[in-house]
Amino acid sequence: MPETASLTLPDGRTIELPVIVGSENEHAIDISRLRGETGYITIDDGFMNTGSCKSEITFIDGEKGVLRYRGYPVEDLAKNCSFVETAQLLIWGELPTPEARRDFSDLLTENSALPEDFRRHFTAFPVHAHPMSIMSAMINALQSYDLPGLIIDDEEEFERVSGALMSKVRTIAAAAYKSSIGEPIMYPRYDLRYVENFLHMMFSKPYRDYVPSAEATAALNLFFLLHADHEQNCSTSTVRMVASGQANMYASVAAGVCALWGRLHGGANQAVMEMLSFIQSSGMSVKDYVAKVKDRAEGIRLMGFGHRVYRAFDPRAVLLKDACDKLLNAMHIDDPRLEIAKQLEEAALSDDYFVSRKLYPNVDFYSGIILTALGIPVEMFTVLFAIGRVPGWIAHWKEIYDVPSTKIYRPRQVYTGSVRREWLNRFQREKGYTDSRGFKVPEELRPTQAPQADAVPPTN
Ligand SMILES: CC(C)(COP(=O)(O)OP(=O)(O)OC[C@H]1O[C@@H](n2cnc3c(N)ncnc32)[C@H](O)[C@@H]1OP(=O)(O)O)[C@@H](O)C(=O)NCCC(=O)NCCS
């Protein structure tokens, strides 16, 4: 007998609503018949309790600090897989065979360069344009050069477009950076793998090759892998929403980049570094900074802390903290901001304000220090987050298309604006003439013959 939940409405009617159980035993009440049968909708600001879809891609148990891609714990993937293999897992549901891995790697290599006339767009942005603005615009522009069908129903074409997007996104990111510092845009190299190739395009110069260390490559590989998907977060939900209207993959992913930009989402890693640099340069003690956060008068938050879903710990932060220590040791970097970060963590984790609100370090807390050690400038942090998230966005875009019952995303609302009003011409509005809500003006002030239209037509 399927489980149901019964809801009693204010007028005494009762409706039985089916309960859906996910593969990890999460329970949800299916309200899809609610409005049709009762006229009621549900409301849930920020979607705190609302599942927007069923998905097979990523599982999170925020209470226990669990994150799994297609069933694999992220800790196992971090230890054993590359970012590209993880991307294949997310997009196609299985870890690749050696042959599939080789083929996809070739596809990435073949698609790493940008069309020559496309490269010219980079010079059209102002020198100090934010790389996220360049990145979102250029991903959207790719559609004009590639023109995949609006609906990709052929598996081979889907693989080609996915590979092209994953590969070109990294080239676009590096090109955005090079343009912003006035250096020549580097071409990708055919002999380098995904992460090395990106670092090459970021830091090589036409007259000098940059050779990343194994530790740097491993740290960036981990960073990308840990950002590869995170179920229905703000940017992924945006991608799914845009895709639900049947927008093409490039447009949907470009929308995801825009959504990621905000400081409460992907922009937080930049905000963390700015916070740590501020504490360092101002000479303020960690204790005083924490007190300022708790005081809330200035509206500042401890950036890199707190998460809508994780209420115990963010497993990505645990892995990144460890990677951060290893990288800084291997590179012999002594960054005082790492010490400040550790002190902040310690102070917050023993403070009732943070403990009672279940605020723990999130993925952005240590990632900024890793990226700084790799020489990545702060404005590029969110861009790197976006590179990592692209496979997840592609997987969700595909899921929207693969599930035939997907409907266009179109939430309802509870309207709280003005009720129906009577249209008044400008003369009546100026005289404060009555409207149907009962605001009356004295008889003598009313026009004997109200003009039917504005005497002077508006000019715009
Ligand atoms: C991630 C985040 C947006 C989640 O927000 P949320 O689930 O909507 O939680 P809320 O904003 O409702 O916060 C709940 C409470 O904790 C407090 N809080 C949340 N994050 C906080 C932070 N980083 N520092 C200080 N207080 C914080 C809020 O002020 C609120 O307190 P109150 O209940 O007394 O009013 C939020 O924790 C945040 O702004 N973090 C900092 C930005 C960040 O690191 N983002 C990256 C996310 S991966």
Beta partners for residue 21, in sequence order: 27
- Residue 413: inside a domain: no
- Residue 52: inside a domain: no
Instruction: Report the percentage of the chain scoring pLDDT > 90.
Output: 72
**CA–CA dist 66, 64 (Å, integer):** 6
**CA–CA dist 249, 396 (Å, integer):** 10
Same domain? For 434 and 310 the reply is no
Per-state percent for the chain, helix, strand, coil, to nearest 5: 50, 5, 40
Same domain? For 216 and 295 the reply is no
Rg (CA), the chain: 26
User: Any residues with CB less than 8 A from the CB of 210 and at least 6 apart, and which?
Assistant: 199, 200, 202, 203, 204
Q: Write out the two tokens for 416.
A: 């709280």
| Phi-psi category of residue 182: left, alpha or beta, with phi > 0 → left and psi -120 to 50 → alpha | left
Same domain? For 73 and 221 the reply is yes
Q: For residue 46, which atom of ligand 1 is closest to its CA?
A: 8
Q: What is the CATH number of the domain that holds 287?
A: 1.10.230.10
Compute the distance from residue 306 Cα to the ligand 1 centre, in Å.
5
Same domain? For 358 and 389 the reply is no
Q: What DSSP assignment string belongs to 327-348? A: HHHHTT---HHHHHHHHHHHHH
Same domain? For 328 and 216 the reply is no
- Residue 411: inside a domain: no
- Residue 61: inside a domain: no
Same domain? For 21 and 94 the reply is no
**Tens digit of each residue's pLDDT (9 = 90 or more) over 277-301:** 999 999 999 999 999 999 988 889 9
pLDDT at 430: 72
pLDDT at 181: 87
Report the amino acid identity of residue 111: N
- Residue 409: inside a domain: no
Atom 34 (ligand 1) nearest CA: 357
pLDDT at 458: 53
- Residue 320: inside a domain: yes
Residue 252's CB is within 10 A of a number of other CB atoms, namely 25
Domain housing 275? 270-372
Compute the distance from residue 46 Cα to the ligand 1 centre, in Å.
13
pLDDT at 270: 84
Judge if the beta carbon of residue 361 lies within 6 A of ligand 1.
Answer: no
Judge if the beta carbon of residue 196 lies within 6 A of ligand 1.
Answer: no
Q: What is the CATH number of the domain that holds 255?
A: 1.10.580.10
pLDDT at 427: 73
Q: For residue 362, which atom of ligand 1 is closest to its CA?
A: 48
Judge if the beta carbon of residue 226 lies within 6 A of ligand 1.
Answer: no
Q: State residue 20 phi and psi, 5-degree precision.
A: -105, 140
Instruction: Catalogue the active-site residues.
Output: 307, 364
**CA–CA dist 339, 205 (Å, integer):** 33
Same domain? For 221 and 349 the reply is no
Q: Sheet with 27-29: list strands edge to edge.
A: 4-8, 14-21, 27-29
pLDDT at 311: 86
Same domain? For 322 and 443 the reply is no
Atom 10 (ligand 1) nearest CA: 308
- Residue 362: inside a domain: yes
Q: Domain count of the chain?
A: 4
The tens-digit pLDDT sequence of the chain (460 residues) is: 789 999 999 999 999 999 999 999 999 999 999 999 999 999 999 999 999 999 999 999 999 999 999 999 999 999 999 999 999 999 999 999 999 999 999 999 999 999 999 999 998 998 888 999 999 999 999 999 987 776 787 899 999 999 999 999 999 999 999 988 889 999 999 999 999 999 999 999 999 999 999 999 999 999 999 999 999 999 999 999 999 999 999 999 999 999 999 888 888 888 899 999 999 999 999 999 999 999 988 889 999 999 888 988 899 999 999 999 899 889 888 778 888 988 998 999 899 999 999 999 888 888 988 999 999 999 999 999 999 999 999 999 999 999 888 899 999 999 999 998 888 887 777 766 665 555 565 566 555 555 555 555 555 5
Judge if the beta carbon of residue 314 lies within 6 A of ligand 1.
Answer: no
8 Å CB contact between 393 and 407: no
**CA–CA dist 201, 100 (Å, integer):** 26
Compute the distance from residue 116 Cα to the ligand 1 centre, in Å.
44
Judge if the beta carbon of residue 293 lies within 6 A of ligand 1.
Answer: yes
Same domain? For 278 and 201 the reply is no
Compute the distance from residue 303 Cα to the ligand 1 centre, in Å.
9
Same domain? For 214 and 142 the reply is yes
- Residue 55: inside a domain: no
Judge if the beta carbon of residue 355 lies within 6 A of ligand 1.
Answer: no
**Tens digit of each residue's pLDDT (9 = 90 or more) over 85-124:** 999 999 999 999 999 999 999 999 999 999 999 999 998 9
Judge if the beta carbon of residue 304 lies within 6 A of ligand 1.
Answer: yes
pLDDT at 148: 72
Same domain? For 244 and 287 the reply is no
Same domain? For 137 and 260 the reply is yes
Compute the distance from residue 276 Cα to the ligand 1 centre, in Å.
18
b/e burial code for range 180-211 (CB count within 10 A of at least 16 → b): beeeebbbbeeebbbbbbbbbbbbbeeeeeee
